[in-house]
Amino acid sequence: MTDHTKSKLLVALLGITLLCALVTPWLGHILPQWDVIFRPGADDIDAIIFWQIRVPRVLLSLLAGAGLSLGGVVFQALFRNPLATPFTLGVASGASLGVTIAIVSGIHFSLLGLSGTSLAALSGAILSIALVYGIARASGKLSPTTMLLGGVAISFFFSSLILLLQYLSDAGSSFRVLHWLMGDISRASMDSVLQLAPFIISGVLIVSLLHRELNLLSITDDMAASRGVNVDRSRQLLFFAVSLMVAGIITVCGPIGFVGIMAPHICRLIIGSNHRFLIPASLLFGATFLTLCDTLARNISSAAEVPVGIITAILGGPFFLWLLLRKNRSLP
């Protein structure tokens, strides 16, 4: 496939994403009148459902889907492992632990416009990366395998700490933690969209600027270094960008699994491994995918909404297995 074809494919993907963003707010048990589009501030039921519930929810799932997918792209390249994502590597559990501590302890504060919960999530994410780095360094060399195994260990450890905290806390916060752990976009509001946007935008900017480094790092660290890449600095910047995005998503939506593993692989099959194209393709695909999953989540049952994390996990589990069992692997 030539670069020209790939560019055209990206334009088509952008079209699909826009279409999805325009159509999904209309779908649901209540079908709003078409003219609510001209009444964003109105207080009739249609306008409230459309502008205050569904539009923020679609915007939030677009942002979160893009961020989760890009996090997967970066980690799969850095660890040169098709199963590496911020979730398999402990970054998400670090951020989740931060949020759990914030919920259980009931602290409320904000710093520089960031909420205490999102700062706790970011600290947790960066702590887990630092631990993974520390473990790998202590073992002698920063091999992706050591980091991967360290990440899995930390992920388990943090998850059990979350369960412990939840067990020890009162019924109210315990339920809030449980509901939030399922990964949910239903509490979306324009505030949460505005809260998440800066995290995702800055993460996407950093990763996009480093697409040439990602290409070389996805081969080997030695190859990247011998071509002139400052491997340590690039890797730290990329880890930081992913931590930002994951912390933002975990704070606002809770842990939503499997988007980060599926979206990059499907995009790689379609558009190839060159990160110049893979990055925008994964952003768009991830955004569309999560938005569709969430639309499904809020329509699948008339009794209650299903948290979107359950839908992505149900779709993701079999995909994960397919990836493991696929014979002809040329990934990442």
Partner 1 sequence: MQAIPTDIIKASDLNLRIGSTQLLDAASLAISAGERLAIVGPNGAGKTTLIRCLLGLTQPDSGHIEINGRPLSKLSHTELARQISYVPQQLAERISFTAMEFISMSRYAYGGGRGAGGGFKQTDEEGLEATEQAIELTGVGHLRHQALSTMSGGERQKVSIAAALAQQTPTLILDEPSAHLDPKQRDIIHDLLAKITREQNISLIVITHDLNWASAEFDRIIGMKAGQTMVDTQADAFMQKQTLMDIFDADWLLHPHPESGRPMVLPSPSQKP
**Residue type at 314?**
I
Written as six digits, the tokens of 274 are 């060159």
Is residue 10 near partner 1 by the rule CB under 8 A?
no
The tokens 């964003």 sit on which residue?
A: 40
Neighbours of 296 (CB within 10 A): 16
Is residue 236 near partner 1 by the rule CB under 8 A?
no
Is residue 143 near partner 1 by the rule CB under 8 A?
no
User: Which of 187, 276 has the CB closer to partner 1?
Assistant: 276
Q: Find the part of the chain contacting partner 1 (CB under 8 A) among 27-35, 54-62, 111-119, 217-225.
A: 217-225
Is residue 43 near partner 1 by the rule CB under 8 A?
no
Tell which one of 142, 144, 274, 305 touches partner 1 (CB under 8 A): 274
* Whether 63 contacts 255, CB under 8 Å: no
Dihedral Cα 182, 262, 218, 84, nearest 10 deg: 40
- Selection from 129, 117, 259, 123 nearest residue 183 by Cα: 259
Q: First-to-last CA distance in the chain?
A: 18
Give the footprint of partner 1 on residues 186-215 (CB under 8 A).
Answer: 212-213, 215
**Residue type at 164?**
L
What's the min distance (Å) between Cβ of 84 and partner 1?
A: 14
What's the min distance (Å) between Cβ of 230 and partner 1?
A: 5
Tell which one of 37, 48, 201, 223 touches partner 1 (CB under 8 A): 223
Q: Find the part of the chain contacting partner 1 (CB under 8 A) among 56-64, 221-229, 243-251, 294-302.
A: 221-229
Torsion sign across C-alpha atoms 122, 76, 197, 255: negative
Give the footprint of partner 1 on residues 72-91 (CB under 8 A).
Answer: 80
Tell which one of 9, 161, 292, 331 touches partner 1 (CB under 8 A): 331
Is residue 170 near partner 1 by the rule CB under 8 A?
no
Burial of 240 (0-12, 13-18, 19+ CB in 10 A): middle
At residue 57, the 3 state secondary structure works out as helix
What's the min distance (Å) between Cβ of 210 and partner 1?
A: 12
Chain contacts with partner 1 (rule: CB under 8 A): 2-4, 80, 140, 212-213, 215-216, 219-220, 222-223, 225-230, 268, 272-274, 276-277, 329-331
